[in-house]
Structure 1
Amino acid sequence: MKTEGHMRLQRRIIAVLIGGQILGGIGMGATLSLGSLLAAQLSGSNAWSGMAATMSTLGAAISAVPLARLAQAHGRRISLSTGAIIAGAGAVTAISAAALNLFPLLLLGLMLLGVGSAVNLQARFAATDLAVAGSRGRDLSLVVWSTTVGAVLGPNLFGPGEVVGAAIGLPPMTGAFAFSVTAQIAAAVVYASFLRPDPLLTAIASRAQDPSIPGPQGGLAVLRKNPQARYAVATVALSHATMVALMSMTPVHLREHGASLTIVGLTISLHIAGMYALSPVFGWMADKVGKLPTIVVGQVMLVASLVLAGVAADSREAVTISLILLGLGWSASVVAGSALVAESADPQDRPALQGVSDLSMNAAGAIGGALAGVVLAAAGYSGLGFASLLLVAIVLIWTTRQPRHTLQEIQAPQHIEQP
């Protein structure tokens, strides 16, 4: 039941999560772009520069389930603050790697930094722990949107970071990592100090007295028993794989066709804006129109993006529009799909299911990015666009094959009550 006290508590939780996300986003945005440059420098070859993104993704994937288990056992406050501290330790490790000229140590640092991405993903689910059914998508989308601030501010700290780094004696290209350490520690303090009462523990406690609810289950157990959960997790993972596949190869394609770094940067910036800037709109749609229709809207935008990339790969303007549509389609699909993941399990089972979802999302993105390079080499950018339609087709076909009662649950779930 939605009471005034409940609403005040949820508003405060959302504010704390947004604050932590902004701090964590600044830390990630300030360092991951520099990671590729540092990887090339320490390894002595540009061929290793891609390992920065690979190790970060690996860190996010590996930590997703352990952080979820920590949340299930001790609450979001402990899980999120612990993850932020680990990410800060990753930044310290990266600085040490540069000082010692040790490439393997840098890879370890970047992997630990990737835990910060897992924290960002878990924070969006934390927004749903005490959300009522009619605002779950909105609350989740507001936390997703807040990552835009860090994504925009972070890269602009490169210059100031070098000035600060030089002043305190840090190796070149590591000053921004010092900002990351500070930002991650600050995020940990925000989570640990202000995420009280813990939203997940509060939600679990409110359900503990109901004898009809079984004990906690693992994420895979929930997937086996719950077709709605399988649909939601697959939608998020496949949508993310689609986005990563095309986005990761676009800079390569544009550079091969003579685009300047400025044009490449602008295209990616507009894509990122599409990913995050309108997420509250899609959250509102998920709540008011329905999760399923919002997912379909997202998939249609992904189709438009991929077809445009396929038929107009030689046009920079068309590629830019395609990347904007790609970001918008990702946003609609992931916001609505994530809200559906949260609705697919009782509070005590949500962290486990969400951990599996985040692991699947990161793994799908890593596989999609790796296979995209192979497809690009074999069939070109147009071929990549058309080939990626297969992933969208899976989601759309799966949607149409949902049983009638499942579709009704997806659009208006009734089986989970919130305190």
Structure 2
Amino acid sequence: MTSAAPAPTGIQDEDPDPAAAQRRVLRVLVAAQVLSGAGLAAGITIGGLLAQDMLGSTGLAGLPSALFTAGSALAAVTVGRISQTRGRRPGLAAGYLTGAVGSAGVIVAAVLDNPVLLFVALFVYGAGSATNLQARYAGADLATPDRRARAVSTVLVATTLGGVAGPNLAAPTGTFAETFGIPHLAGPFLLSGAAYALAALVLAVRLRPDPLLLARSLAADAVRREPVEEKAAAEPRGGVVLGALVMILTQLVMVAVMTMTPIHMHDHGHGTAASGLVIAVHIGAMYLPSPLTGWLVDLPHARLRSRGGTPIGRLTLAAASGVTLLAAGVVAAAAPADSVALLALALALLGLGWNFGLVSGTAIITDTVPLATRARTQGLVDVSIAIAGATGGMASGIVVAAASYPVLALTGGVLALAILPAVAVTATARR
């Protein structure tokens, strides 16, 4: 008796029905994203304040954001390569576990009052941020082209619950940490470490079938059945450039303004609870509109039949991201320092503009890149996004120290408008 050869994709004994598999994959990703959202948001809110407290300088307060976004760049490459060779499950689980290790390092650094260790730990902590973004690609692997943006949006919106809860738990987790002799500002990293570790466990145990491996297997079967029907990617290769540019600019502007907002508020007498509320509103706006955004992005040729019909789709939402970020910059610059409501509105617009750019850019990238190289290319794109975020985080503290927070906000808004000519060129080329 001869034994059967193992399936090369590693998906034997798993659900062969793509629709059923996609539903299961999305359920597991949603559970993991709820957890990881709490881990991500807690660190974002407090990282800059912790560095400012240790260093006694606002000029370097943007360094933590720069470091964990730089760390996310390295993690994006690593997670992308692991996913390319072994599947999404081991790639995402390893990324979240690394984020948990970074969180533990931040706590140790705070206890020892060691800024160098803090910066190293924040770099490692950035793996959680990179993995949180990489998970959106896993949601799109098995989705049909006309539902890709909605699948991405489902994964993104799941981050909302944890993302909104995380900043608002900053004060209570700080109080809890003090009972163990841990500095108050390091408390949220207890939450982020536990949340990232649980997200890694959920993915390692439950993300079956692996969406990328199953998508490759289905594509190979389709080619074997109809070899003459194998087609190139639906979008021109230039779509990689456009999708990457949209996400890079929106990430740079979002990180720069978001990083300095809690510090701007702290310097004008607001407490941790107020800054936590503003960041919670911001993160809610980053993820909560995702279902509507995904629906709009998935209608590339449709029109809203109102007054002449506004075109809706990938390019329109990409352009809308630039305009929305400009509005965020104007409101943030004009808001009185004592107005929590206006700062919350500015950060809500900032999050919404980022959401438009991320969902539309992700859909454009996924349309463009073939399955054979998808995870690797997506990882490289996310490296660029992370570098942009690191640049924004580092530059934000320098700009505020040299000029002011309103100057930073306006500069970011104007920079986001660079998306518009790129979208216009692409739209013209497709006519």
**TM-score, normalisation: structure 1:** 0.82
Using the TM superposition, name which of 362-371 and 198-207 deviates more. Answer: 362-371
Q: Which residue of 2 aligns with 1:108?
A: 120
Tell me whether 1:76 sits opposite 2:88 in the alignment: yes
* SS of structure 1 residue aligned to 2:140: coil
Q: Which residue of 2 aligns with 1:121?
A: 133
Displacement of 1:109 in angstroms is 1.8
Q: Deviations over 1:192-213 (max 9, x none)?
A: 1111111011112223364789
Distance in 2 of aligned mates of 1:298 and 1:265 = 24
* SS of structure 2 residue aligned to 1:349: helix
Say whether the 8 Å CA contact 1:83–1:116 is kept in structure 2: yes
Q: Which residue of 1 aligns with 2:241?
A: 230
Q: How does 1:200-219 map to 2 (within 5 A)?
A: 200-208=212-220, 210=223
Change over 3 Å in CA distance of 1:269–1:25 after alignment to 2? closer
Change over 3 Å in CA distance of 1:271–1:33 after alignment to 2? closer
Say whether the 8 Å CA contact 2:167–2:279 is kept in structure 1: no
Q: Which residue of 1 aligns with 2:392?
A: 368
* SS of structure 2 residue aligned to 1:260: coil
Equivalent of residue 39 in structure 2, options 27, 31, 34: 27
What amino acid sits opposite 1:114 in the alignment?
G
Instruction: Please give the root-mean-square deviation of Cα atoms over the aligned residues, in Å.
Output: 3.2
Q: Deviations over 1:92-139 (max 9, x none)?
A: 323333444433222222221110001101001110000111211111
Q: Which residue of 1 aligns with 2:195?
A: 183
Distance in 1 of aligned mates of 2:265 and 2:114 = 33
Q: Deviations over 1:294-332 (max 9, x none)?
A: 22222232233334456x355846554333222212211
* SS of structure 2 residue aligned to 1:130: coil
Q: Which residue of 2 aligns with 1:417?
A: none
What amino acid sits opposite 2:250 in the alignment?
S
Displacement of 1:160 in angstroms is 5.1
Structure 2 stretches of 5 or more lacking a match?
Answer: 1-14, 300-311
Displacement of 1:396 in angstroms is 0.6
Q: Which residue of 2 aligns with 1:287?
A: 298
Change over 3 Å in CA distance of 1:231–1:46 after alignment to 2? closer
Change over 3 Å in CA distance of 1:320–1:95 after alignment to 2? closer
Say whether the 8 Å CA contact 1:27–1:180 is kept in structure 2: yes
Change over 3 Å in CA distance of 1:387–1:84 after alignment to 2? closer
Say whether the 8 Å CA contact 2:239–2:368 is kept in structure 1: yes
Q: Deviations over 1:116-167 (max 9, x none)?
A: 0011010011100001112111111111111111122223444554565566
Q: Deviations over 1:322-351 (max 9, x none)?
A: 332222122112111112111110112221
Distance in 2 of aligned mates of 1:260 and 1:341 = 41
Q: Which residue of 2 aligns with 1:220?
A: none
Q: Which residue of 1 aligns with 2:420?
A: 396
Q: Deviations over 1:354-404 (max 9, x none)?
A: 112211112112223333445545664554444334433321111111265
Distance in 2 of aligned mates of 1:274 and 1:36 = 21
Equivalent of residue 276 in structure 1, options 287, 299, 314: 287
Q: How does 1:329-368 map to 2 (within 5 A)?
A: 329-368=353-392
* SS of structure 1 residue aligned to 2:22: helix
**TM-score, normalisation: structure 2:** 0.80
Distance in 2 of aligned mates of 1:292 and 1:343 = 13
Distance in 2 of aligned mates of 1:41 and 1:113 = 19
Change over 3 Å in CA distance of 1:58–1:208 after alignment to 2? same
Change over 3 Å in CA distance of 1:152–1:196 after alignment to 2? same
Distance in 2 of aligned mates of 1:240 and 1:201 = 29
Displacement of 1:69 in angstroms is 0.7
Distance in 1 of aligned mates of 2:366 and 2:60 = 38
Q: Which residue of 2 aligns with 1:155?
A: 167
Structure 1 stretches of 5 or more lacking a match?
Answer: 215-222, 408-419
Distance in 2 of aligned mates of 1:158 and 1:345 = 40
Q: Deviations over 1:42-69 (max 9, x none)?
A: 5576665543323211211221111101
% identical equivalent positions: 36
Tell me whether 1:132 sits opposite 2:144 in the alignment: yes
What amino acid sits opposite 2:142 in the alignment?
L
What amino acid sits opposite 1:297 in the alignment?
A
What amino acid sits opposite 2:297 in the alignment?
A
Distance in 2 of aligned mates of 1:52 and 1:164 = 23
Q: Which residue of 1 aligns with 2:100?
A: 88
Say whether the 8 Å CA contact 2:141–2:215 is kept in structure 1: yes
Displacement of 1:239 in angstroms is 1.5
Q: How many residues in Structure 1 have an aligned counterpart in Structure 2?
A: 393
Q: Which residue of 2 aligns with 1:411?
A: none
Q: Which residue of 2 aligns with 1:416?
A: none
Using the TM superposition, name which of 185-194 and 398-407 deviates more. Answer: 398-407
Distance in 2 of aligned mates of 1:111 and 1:56 = 4
Change over 3 Å in CA distance of 1:88–1:326 after alignment to 2? closer
Distance in 2 of aligned mates of 1:161 and 1:382 = 31
Displacement of 1:184 in angstroms is 2.2
Q: Which residue of 2 aligns with 1:146?
A: 158
Using the TM superposition, name which of 110-119 and 28-37 deviates more. Answer: 28-37
Equivalent of residue 63 in structure 1, options 69, 75, 85: 75
